[in-house]
Structure 1
Amino acid sequence: MPELLKVSGLVAGYGEAKVLAGIDVTLGQGQALALLGRNGTGKTTLINTIVGHTRRFAGSITLNGKELTKLRPDQRALAGIGWVPQERNIFKSLTVEENLTAVAVPGPWTVQRIYQMFPRLQERKANLGNQLSGGEQQMLAIGRALMLNPQVLLLDEPLEGLAPIIVQELLAVLQQIIRDEGMSVILVEQNARKALGITHDAIVLERGSVVHAAPAKTLLDDPGLLDGLLGVARH
């Protein structure tokens, strides 16, 4: 499988604090990777470093062989990095449609395709961002990232704080993006089993290092191993 995104020997953090301790991650074309670990293990820092919002001390990040580490966040977005942050960061004073068109890059993902995927956004297309529910805001954040027509989509806890019915709706959409559309994805999600159910591979972080890497199905089929890695009690 062609290598798309490669993170090599990455040391990064905030200010003088180093959070990531020499991380290596490879994402293949059309592959989806679950990024797992307890709170504070470096998952969001890894996503933020790929996007360009942390301090890099060492290592490299390449996309299709192109070095990203010296590019600004906006340049990384244009290079093919789509990002859905925990905070969503939609433009709350713009309408749904303005949010989508403001960042649009020509490609297969269009406003109409986003509306087909999220009919609720079409119903709300004239509403301002601050008039949307939390679930609708998350749909808009995903749709806006897709409007960049990225090569890689980074999702940082997209299901957090949402009602169960919205979680199921978003999981179905993410599965469609991954399985049917062949989008390359890195997914950070606290509910490991939900993430593993729609991804191909998984890595587990602990103290800023990769402590386990395996096919997603391997971890799903071994709940004891998964819970041990994540330090949680069996439910």
Structure 2
Amino acid sequence: MSETLLQIENLRAGYGEAVVLDGVSFALAEGRTLALLGRNGTGKTTLINTLAGVTRQHGGRIALAGTVLDRLAPHRRAAAGIGWVPQERNIFKSLTVHENLTSVQRPGKWTPEGVYAMFPRLAERKMNLGTQLSGGEQQMLAVGRALVLNPRLLLLDEPLEGLAPIIVEELLRAIRRITQAEGLAAIIVEQHPQAVLAISDEAVVLDHGRVVHASSAPALRAQPELLDRLLGVAR
């Protein structure tokens, strides 16, 4: 049985004095993928941002491989093993694709060459500036930049948002390879629940900043009526 990688206990967090997450607890084992679901405004992005260290933690505990993250700055969390792909992507638009990757690279199995092998589009555009990339290419670069940090846990916040279907399929294949074939643990926030459940091991649903459902991803995917009810979707 895999060892626990991420442990979240009674987490309370938000922005300033506003508490968005109130008593969130769950664990994720090494090499497992978790689909983080919920309606808009339920705290999914806040949870991802809290793990990355860019919100205010009011209480509770976050531990990654035994290292308590509660008071660590974002760059210290990256060094501890957090790889973050935010909604905004946050690539360095004034740098080339290659410079984006090499400027943050840390020792490990993932290298710029490995990213180019997974995303040939980036290899073709390695000398292009970030401003010269399409939305899909920017998302690929954001994922690649997180990978060359050689993290233990990859955080993906709506990686498929606003992308053309062909790019969505390409990214889903890449995420499946990263998590299933390469064994990197991940938490994925996504508005396409069936798509993310299909490539995940576990599922957690948030509502009003609390965990209202936790199960295996296949079990939740096999219950579309329950999924719709949890996400407030009317059939």
Structure 1 residue 233: deviation in Å?
A: 2.2
Distance 1:201 1:64 in 2: 18
Aligned residue for 1:189? Answer: 190
Query: Given the alignment of the two structures, is residue 93 of structure 1 paired with residue 94 of structure 2, yes or no?
Result: yes
Aligned residue for 1:32? Answer: 33
Residues 1-235 of structure 1 aligned to structure 2 (within 5 Å): 1-234=2-235
Distance 2:205 2:111 in 1: 34
Structure 1 residue 25: deviation in Å?
A: 1.8
Structure 1 residue 70: deviation in Å?
A: 1.0
Structure 1 residue 208: deviation in Å?
A: 0.2
String of CA shifts for 1:136-189, please: whole Å, max 9, x gaps.
000000000001000000000000000000000000000011110001000000
Q: Percent identity?
A: 63
String of CA shifts for 1:178-204, please: whole Å, max 9, x gaps.
110001000000110001000001000
Distance 1:79 1:217 in 2: 30
Distance 1:138 1:80 in 2: 20
Distance 2:24 2:98 in 1: 38
* Partner SS for 1:187: strand
Distance 1:51 1:25 in 2: 16
TM-score (norm 2): 0.99
Number of equivalenced pairs = 234
String of CA shifts for 1:31-79, please: whole Å, max 9, x gaps.
0000000000000000000110011110011011011111100000011
* Partner SS for 2:92: coil
Unpaired runs of 5+ residues, structure 2, are none
Distance 1:221 1:113 in 2: 35
* Partner SS for 1:213: strand
TM-score (norm 1): 0.99
One-letter code aligned to 2:116: Y
* Partner SS for 1:89: coil
Unpaired runs of 5+ residues, structure 1, are none
